[in-house]
Each structure stands twice: as C-alpha cells, then as structure tokens.
Structure 1
C-alpha cells in the first residue's frame, strides 16, 4: 500500500483502525476505500465487513484482499446497522477507531490531524472534524458543516450538552469522528436504542467518560442520496432526537437540564422543518444534475438509478 509520509514521529504513531460496514455500496465503495488508502497517516488497518449485500459490494471488497493491512469480513443478514457496525468495530485492533460508511469520503489529512489531538491531550476520548455534504458526483452541496463552534479542547459533558441544545448532531457522521477504541468498548459499543441517532447517541456515551476536541477544518465528505429526500424520514428523525434528549436529561440531569431539553427539542423541530425545505431544493438540484449526466453518460445514469441508498 502506497502512502504519504506522516509528519508524526515513528514513536508517536499508534495504530488506527478504519472500519467500514458495507451494505450495497458497490457504486461508491472503491472511492471510499481509496480515500482511506490515501491518508497521510501511515500506521492504520482497514476492516471491511459486507452485510449480505445483493449488489457487487463483495466483488469490490475482494480487490483489496492482497493488502496486508486490510481485513475482509462478512456479516449475516439482519440486525440493522447495529450488527454490522459492531462487527467491524469489535474486529478492530487499533488504539483509535474510525467508522466510515461505504459511500462516504475521507480527506487525506483527517486521521493525522485527529491523532495529533489525542497525543497532545491524553484526557481526550473523541475528536471530530467538520465535513462537506456532497452529492452522488462528489460535488459539495454544503461546505464546512459541523462542530457548532466547539473547536479546540472541551469537557465531554459540555460537548454533549451543546449537541442537545443545538437540536442536531454537531459531531457529524462517523467518518468525521475518531474515538478511543477502549472507550467505545467500555460503553458497550454502538447504541441503537434510537436507530437514527446510532452515531450521536454513542458519541455522547463516550464523551461522558472524557474530553472532546473539535477541529473546524473540513476533513470528510458525507454523501447524500435520493433515499434521504423524505419528509417521513425527517419526521422520524426529529421524533427520535427529542426522545433521546428526554432520555439523556432523565438519566444525566447533571449534564442536560430541563432548560437544555426545552431548547434542544424546539431547535430539533425547527431543524427538521428546515431540513425538509432543503430536501426539496437539493432533490430537485440532484435530479437536474442526473438528467444532464444521463445525456452525456447514459450508462452511468442507468447504474445510478439501480443503487439501493439504504445503509445496513
């Protein structure tokens, strides 16, 4: 595997595990894996598990079978995201762990920057970077999204309170986040009691055990698809967000107060309404883009229409 030289000294390069729970990601999985291989940080392993995909995901995975630091696994069907996310995470052997969905992208510097923050701050259990929201063709729709001003070092409880009060996941998707593997294991791995918040709920449980660092520089690309342009989905997301906020306020009133709860739930509903409007706009924009590509590259458009945008 060819990689650029890391600026970190050899003795300061702990092993990082990048884990990829793949499910029907044939259209984008190669780009995702290549973005991991392109990291400036050198001492990493990649663990990929196919969750009984019905497309060419397994075929694409097998192209990387010859790399010594790539481990390929399979996960039985069923169990939703939780089964495959835990499968790849528990197979990781690194000191730090980053989960990347099989259609998202890492920018080359993200792991090196995030590891540097862990090395400089031994109390930190989670580091998050801002990201870009990109379309199916890697074109940015929204740039430098996330963190909500929480740059630098903060108490984990303060970061948890902030994300509740904002009414949205300020840490971003898993590809934006690097955690201590031991901390993730200590809280019982991924938490899917609120399925749409499997990432945010888990982050908060980890953050309540240590400190947080936020990096403002946009360092990942989160890909949106047609399957996410759904008013019904937005409604379910806000219902689960407010339910999670109530659970956290009840179980940890020292972290989330009744005022935090009221503010966070109001903002979650407002964010949901704004998201619905954004979905309409972005869906139309993506439709126009796909129509143009269909004229220029009809074979690519046909393949795109067959994509199952769901995540296991």
Structure 2
C-alpha cells in the first residue's frame, strides 16, 4: 500500500480562492490522500465553499474558534492528520498535479530524509504568474538538514518556500512540537528548521506550487517587520544551535535579510503597478 498523505488546508476568509486551491489538491496524480480543511471563524463565505466538498469521502471539514493567529488553525488541521506525510496548503495557494507524487517519491527514496521541497511560482490576485521557479538556492537532491538550514540563513530568506512547496514526515513535525510561531512571519521557516534538525532534506528540482501574493503584503512596515524577525530567528539559531549556525553565518544572513527586504519592497511596488493596469501587463505577457 502506498503511504497515506495528509493535505491540510487552514482557511481564513479565502472564499474568493479556496475552490481553486481545493481543486488543485484533488487534481493530484497521487491518490492515497486525506484532505482536512478548517475554517478559522471566517467572516466571508469560506465555510459555504468548503461544504461543496463535504460528500467526498477523503474530506474532513473542521471549524476553528477565533483567535490564536495562524498557529491555532495550522495546528488544528495538522493535529487532525493521520498520514505518514503532511503537506499544508494555505487557502489561496495552488499545487501542481504531480506535487505530492514527486515529493513522496523523493522522501521514500531517502528514508533518512524528513522534509522535501520544490521551487514555486509567484502569482498575483488574478492568478497570473509574475515569477517562475523561485526557491531552493541551488540545492539539488538529498542534503543534510543542517546544511539546508545554513544555506537558508545565509541567503537571508526562506529558500524552502511556503508550506504548499513542502512535504514532511508528520511524526517528525509532531515530535518537534508542531508549528512554531515564536517568529510569526516565519512560522513556516522556523518549523522547517526544527524538523530539519532531525533529518535530511530533499530538494525537488521542479516548480510544483504557486504562492499568491496579495495586496496585504505590499506594506513597507510589514516587509521591515519580516526582515527584523528573520534577524531575530538567525540569532535564535546561532544561540541554540551553534553547531549548525555560526556567528559568521548569522552576520551574513542578517545583511542579506535587509537586502531581501528592499528587494521585496521593489517587487511589491511592481506588483501594485501590474494590478492597477492589468491590460497593459497582459499585452506585455503576450508579446
């Protein structure tokens, strides 16, 4: 029997995109799936969208009470999972049809590996791609977990991508205490690091997910807060795991985190112009 994979979807006010997200989940070529979706007290029609899938025997629909930030709902769906492997897909992102199959193959081929990730595309609110194949920082195949963490720190950014890019062993996530929100903007990256302290990483050289960048991410203040939390995260790793992250790694990562913040500001400014003039952008894409 193939290993059961749990795809868990924490949803919050995702009515506009959730059906597209779930359709991408159910389009997987890998069939041994359970799908758990939890609505975090949304104020839009998220629950009504979820109910369209209630008759599918693979689906479990949950409600999560308000409060607790992303951590509450991410842990809600993850704690309900029973699969050997777990993939969390946010309620407005997409995964490619072969995503689970290729990542399961990667982990099954390397029994000592605990987490696999792929590159991803970035899409705007209308679903148009504006960056392709982002992530992994040149990593390919099986890599020691400590080396993968070090590469991410030195790049000053989350090279593993958003949760939809990642498949991990559920028992390892449970062993490290589930999702880690001590750095709220790095809930995914900080959790990956704790998981990777327990085993190896496998980089899958294919773009198998799409992350939707929304207008709420254009704030200069938010970008600066993300950079500061990255710097704080680097310090935590250097303090707690000096055998993995040296002070020199920390210094390089801090400088690059600030550089990445500036790059994001420019990218979001471009995206804002793109969304305000979609017809001109469509003509550019077609040329």
Scaled by the length of structure 2, what TM-score is found?
0.97
Aligned counterpart, 1:88: 77
Aligned counterpart, 1:264: 253
- Could you tell me how far apart the structure 2 residues matched to 1:202 and 1:165 are? 17
Tell me the CA shift for residue 278 of structure 1.
Answer: 1.2
Contact 1:144–1:216, Cα closer than 8 Å, also in 2: no
Contact 2:86–2:168, Cα closer than 8 Å, also in 1: yes
Tell me the CA shift for residue 225 of structure 1.
Answer: 0.9
> Is 1:155 aligned to residue 144 of structure 2?
yes
Tell me the CA shift for residue 287 of structure 1.
Answer: 1.6
Deviations 1:52-109 (Å, cap 9, x if unpaired)?
A: 0000000000111101000000000000000000000000010000000000001000
Q: What's the secondary structure of 2:13's corresponding residue? A: coil
Q: What's the secondary structure of 1:130's corresponding residue? A: strand
Contact 2:118–2:203, Cα closer than 8 Å, also in 1: yes
- What does 1:91-106 align with in structure 2 at a 5 Å threshold? 91-106=80-95
- Could you tell me how far apart the structure 2 residues matched to 1:67 and 1:274 are? 43
Decide which of 212, 224, 229 is 1:223's aligned counterpart.
212
Decide which of 38, 41, 54 is 2:43's aligned counterpart.
54
Q: What's the secondary structure of 1:71's corresponding residue? A: strand
Contact 1:36–1:106, Cα closer than 8 Å, also in 2: yes
Tell me the CA shift for residue 290 of structure 1.
Answer: 8.2
Aligned counterpart, 1:239: 228
Decide which of 155, 158, 164 is 1:166's aligned counterpart.
155
Aligned counterpart, 2:285: none
Deviations 1:167-192 (Å, cap 9, x if unpaired)?
A: 00000000000000000000000000
Q: What's the secondary structure of 1:217's corresponding residue? A: strand
- What does 1:106-125 align with in structure 2 at a 5 Å threshold? 106-125=95-114
Which 5+ residue runs of structure 2 have no aligned equivalent?
283-287
Aligned counterpart, 2:182: 193
Contact 2:274–2:281, Cα closer than 8 Å, also in 1: no
Deviations 1:22-43 (Å, cap 9, x if unpaired)?
A: 0000000000000000000000
Contact 1:18–1:99, Cα closer than 8 Å, also in 2: yes
- Could you tell me how far apart the structure 1 residues matched to 2:280 and 2:13 are? 23
> Is 1:126 aligned to residue 102 of structure 2?
no
- Could you tell me how far apart the structure 1 residues matched to 2:38 and 2:276 are? 31
After the TM superposition, list the runs of 4 or more consecutive aligned residues in structure 1 that deviate by more than 6 angstroms.
290-293
Q: What's the secondary structure of 1:216's corresponding residue? A: strand
Aligned residues: 282
- Could you tell me how far apart the structure 2 residues matched to 1:152 and 1:170 are? 14
RMSD: 1.2
Task: Name the CA shift for 1:160/1:108 in 2 (closer, same or farther; >3 Å).
Answer: same
Aligned counterpart, 1:38: 27
Tell me the CA shift for residue 166 of structure 1.
Answer: 0.3
> Is 1:278 aligned to residue 254 of structure 2?
no
Tell me the CA shift for residue 151 of structure 1.
Answer: 1.1
Tell me the CA shift for residue 119 of structure 1.
Answer: 1.0
Decide which of 253, 278, 289 is 2:242's aligned counterpart.
253
